[in-house]
């Protein structure tokens, strides 16, 4: 299994990031430009960010976890489609394909996170703390959430093609609802009651608590986040194990 996963990772590297010399560079530039645009735009409207004294840091702590979730969940969701030709071989299973995509893209997203956050710290030297254990916990939770949703969607996208379009429509407001532009505490109570159920918003809050000494993320429920990720993960594994051969024959 390790050799198969390693070979799939090399294939993923060649096809996803190796098509052009700027493939890896763009993976860093894309979120950096997004953070810069948001920081510039909101700095023209308000004098200070909702937390701290640096717009770049505030939006980085929101956009980077969100981008990590979106990238990982989308890549995992397309694992069977991406590797359908190789899955015809008995030595390659859907677990290998999913694990290869998850490992490579998780490492890439972590590298992007540390490059961008490190650059902001070195250049701007904002007032902050670095609770490494809490930041690592937030990153681990966002990756686990992406894995869980990605596993379930991997089955649903392959077995019910229409579901892909429905999922895309349903998740369009996710960027606005995930705490990238605001803090949970700044919302009116009615919105807090609804948006609390968004696990990405909770993980973003956990990330900001690990960066800002003045931020309190007591509303975060680790058990809820883990449960929210575990249910679709187990469901996705169950249905993929039962139907992935059927999916391959029908594709």
Q: Provide mean pLDDT across the span 66-77.
A: 94
**Residue with the larger pLDDT of the pair 84 and 201:** 201
pLDDT at 52: 84
> What SS3 class is residue 202?
helix
At which residue do the structure tokens 């990982």 appear? 72
pLDDT at 1: 64
At which residue do the structure tokens 């960066």 appear? 211
Question: How many residues can be counted in the chain?
Answer: 251
Helix (H) or strand (E) holding 197: none
pLDDT at 36: 82
**DSSP-assigned letters across all residues of 47-114:** SS-SSSS-HHHHHHHHHHHHHHHHHHHHHHHTHHHHTTTGGGSTT--HHHHHHHHHHHHHHHHHHHHH
Query: pTM (2 decimals)?
Result: 0.92
Number of CB atoms found within 10 A of residue 223's CB: 7
CB–CB of 146/76 below 8 Å?
Answer: yes
CB–CB of 202/196 below 8 Å?
Answer: yes
The pLDDT confidence band at residue 39, using thresholds 50, 70 and 90, is confident
Q: Is the pLDDT of residue 21 over 60?
A: no
Tokens of 27: 């993976």
Half-sphere exposure of 47 (CA within 13 A, CB side): 0
Distance CA 235, CA 214 (A): 39
Q: Provide mean pLDDT across the span 88-101.
A: 85
Tell me which DSSP letter residue 16 carries: I
At residue 65, φ and ψ (nearest 5 deg) are -60, -40
Q: What is the CA radius of gyration of the chain?
A: 19
At residue 127, φ and ψ (nearest 5 deg) are -75, 120
pLDDT tens digits, one per residue of 146-182: 999 999 999 999 888 899 999 999 999 999 999 999 9
Q: For all residues of the chain together, what is the average pLDDT?
A: 88
pLDDT tens digits, one per residue of 223-240: 999 999 999 999 999 999
Q: What percent of the chain has pLDDT over 70?
A: 94
């Amino acid at each position: 299994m390790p050799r198969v996963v390693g070979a799939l990772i090399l294939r993923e590297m060649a096809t996803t990031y190796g098509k052009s010399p700027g493939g890896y560079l763009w993976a860093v530039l894309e979120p950096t430009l997004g953070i810069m645009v948001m920081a510039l735009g909101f700095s023209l409207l308000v004098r200070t960010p909702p937390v701290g004294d640096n717009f770049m840091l505030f939006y980085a702590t929101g956009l980077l976890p969100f981008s990590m979730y979106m990238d990982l969940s989308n890549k995992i969701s397309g694992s069977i489609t991406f590797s359908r030709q190789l899955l015809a071989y008995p030595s390659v299973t859907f677990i290998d394909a999913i694990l290869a995509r998850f490992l490579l893209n998780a490492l890439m997203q972590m590298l992007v996170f540390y490059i961008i956050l490190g650059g902001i710290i070195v250049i701007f030297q904002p007032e902050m703390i670095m609770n490494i254990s809490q930041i690592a916990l937030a990153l681990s939770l966002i990756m686990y959430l992406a894995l869980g949703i990605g596993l379930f969607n991997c089955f649903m996208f392959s077995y019910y093609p229409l579901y892909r379009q429905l999922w895309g429509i349903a998740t369009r407001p996710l960027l606005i609802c995930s705490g990238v532009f605001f803090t949970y505490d700044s919302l009116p109570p009615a919105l807090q009651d609804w948006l609390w159920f968004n696990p990405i918003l909770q993980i973003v809050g956990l990330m900001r608590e690990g960066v800002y000494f003045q931020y309190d993320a007591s509303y975060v429920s680790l058990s809820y986040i883990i449960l929210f990720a575990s249910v679709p993960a187990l469901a996705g594994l169950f249905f993929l194990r039962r139907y992935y051969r059927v999916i391959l024959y029908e594709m």
